[in-house]
């Protein structure tokens, strides 16, 4: 104790930090060697500092023995690139239409820019990582997705895909080799073409195919809320039945729907737990996984 004070360290602060580490120990031991899929997206990617901080947390998972697999989005950067190219978004029955020019921009931004940036940042932080996407080794495979009108007519959405399979074997081999896979959601179709995939949907499918121990979805909200305008109304834990009821009642709506659906897909495939957390909160990933109370909404198959 005398030495701590002599070094200018607050004893209570040091004790609190030690207690936090001890609290994390049970979870570190429980999840050692297990795969966790993390969907990176939203405002956490708006600034280099926030993105780097989150990736530092991913490297922490890696060094305490977990096997992280990253799936990233990049909607805002895609929208900015389309605006620079003078391309206006078009929608078919409320869904974004992806033509050749749009798909090229999607691929350039997701694969050529964001994926490379994430891999380079992870390497700078001391972890081996590899980008997996349509410009390198692709592990996502899909078919063209169509929408239907109320009278049964099929609507063409362009180069938008519905995932049909994930090469989980490659992902597991990379994890066993202590390499972090980083996936961009651009898939290959049976003819070798390329299809744009919803990032949340891709993350759920990856977690299901492995299957992972956990799926963690980054959001711009504090988990799932009863009232979107009230940050304190979030649920710390929900089961499948309540998630389905909330989607039916509109409590879960808009951008939260694909996240919730991805979580349910993962749980159905044997993933232990799914989590939706606010990626803007510093170290939310670590707090959700390694603390008793967490900071977002955990989703389980059944309560109790």
- Residues 277-288: what's their mean pLDDT? 91
Q: What is the pLDDT of residue 95?
A: 66
Q: Could you tell me if residue 94 is inside a domain?
A: yes
Q: Which comes out higher in pLDDT, residue 39 or 20? A: 39
Number of domains within the chain:
1
Confidence of residue 2 (pLDDT cuts 50, 70, 90): very low
Q: Could you tell me if residue 273 is inside a domain?
A: yes
- Residues 146-154: what's their mean pLDDT? 76
Range of the domain at 247: 33-300
Q: Considering the chain, what percentage of its residues have pLDDT values greater than 70?
A: 95
Q: Could you tell me if residue 17 is inside a domain?
A: no
Residue pLDDT, tens place only, 175-199: 999 999 999 999 999 999 999 999 9
The domain that holds 118 is classified in CATH as 3.40.1160.10
The answer on pLDDT for 6 being more than 60 is no
Of all residues in the chain, what percent are helix, strand and coil, respectively (each to 5)?
A: 45, 25, 30
What totals of helices (H) and strands (E) does the chain contain, helices first? Answer: 11, 14
Residue pLDDT, tens place only, 201-248: 999 999 999 999 999 999 887 788 877 777 777 788 999 899 999 999
Using DSSP's 3-state secondary structure scheme, residue 104 falls into helix
Q: Could you tell me if residue 157 is inside a domain?
A: yes
Residue pLDDT, tens place only, 160-173: 999 999 999 999 99
Q: What is the pLDDT of residue 177?
A: 97
Q: Could you tell me if residue 62 is inside a domain?
A: yes
**What backbone torsions phi and psi does residue 67 show, to the nearest 5 degrees?**
-120, 85
Q: Could you tell me if residue 11 is inside a domain?
A: no
Residue pLDDT, tens place only, 106-115: 999 999 999 9
d(CA 109, CA 117): 10
Q: Could you tell me if residue 25 is inside a domain?
A: no
Q: Could you tell me if residue 244 is inside a domain?
A: yes
Q: In this structure, is the dihedral angle defined by the CA atoms of residues 208, 214, 219 and 222, taken in order, positive or negative?
A: positive
């Amino acid at each position: 104790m005398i030495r701590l004070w002599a070094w200018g360290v607050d004893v209570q602060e040091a004790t609190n930090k030690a207690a936090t580490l001890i609290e994390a120990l049970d979870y570190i031991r429980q999840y050692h060697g297990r795969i966790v899929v993390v969907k990176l997206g939203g405002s956490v990617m708006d600034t280099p500092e926030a993105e780097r901080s989150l990736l530092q947390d991913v490297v922490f998972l890696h060094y305490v023995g977990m096997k992280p697999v990253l799936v990233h989005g990049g909607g805002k950067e895609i929208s900015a690139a389309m605006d620079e190219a003078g391309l206006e978004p078009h929608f078919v029955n409320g869904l974004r239409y992806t033509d050749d020019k749009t798909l090229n921009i999607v691929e350039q931004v997701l694969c050529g820019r964001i994926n490379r940036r994430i891999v380079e940042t992870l390497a700078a932080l001391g972890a081996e990582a590899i980008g997996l996407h349509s410009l390198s080794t692709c592990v996502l495979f899909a078919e063209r997705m169509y929408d239907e009108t109320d009278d049964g007519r099929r609507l063409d959405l362009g180069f938008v895909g519905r995932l049909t399979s994930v090469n989980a074997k490659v992902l597991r081999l990379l994890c066993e080799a202590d390499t972090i896979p980083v996936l961009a959601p651009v898939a290959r179709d049976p003819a070798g073409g390329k299809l744009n995939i919803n990032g949340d949907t891709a993350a759920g499918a990856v977690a299901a195919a492995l299957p992972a121990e956990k799926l963690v979805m980054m959001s711009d909200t504090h988990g799932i809320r009863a009232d979107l305008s009230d940050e304190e109304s979030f649920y710390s834990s929900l089961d499948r039945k309540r998630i389905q009821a909330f989607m039916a009642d509109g409590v879960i709506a808009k951008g939260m729907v694909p996240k919730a659906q991805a979580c349910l897909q993962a749980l159905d495939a044997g993933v232990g737990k799914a989590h939706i957390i606010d990626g803007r909160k510093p170290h939310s990933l670590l707090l959700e996984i390694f603390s008793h109370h967490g900071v977002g909404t955990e989703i389980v198959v059944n309560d109790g």
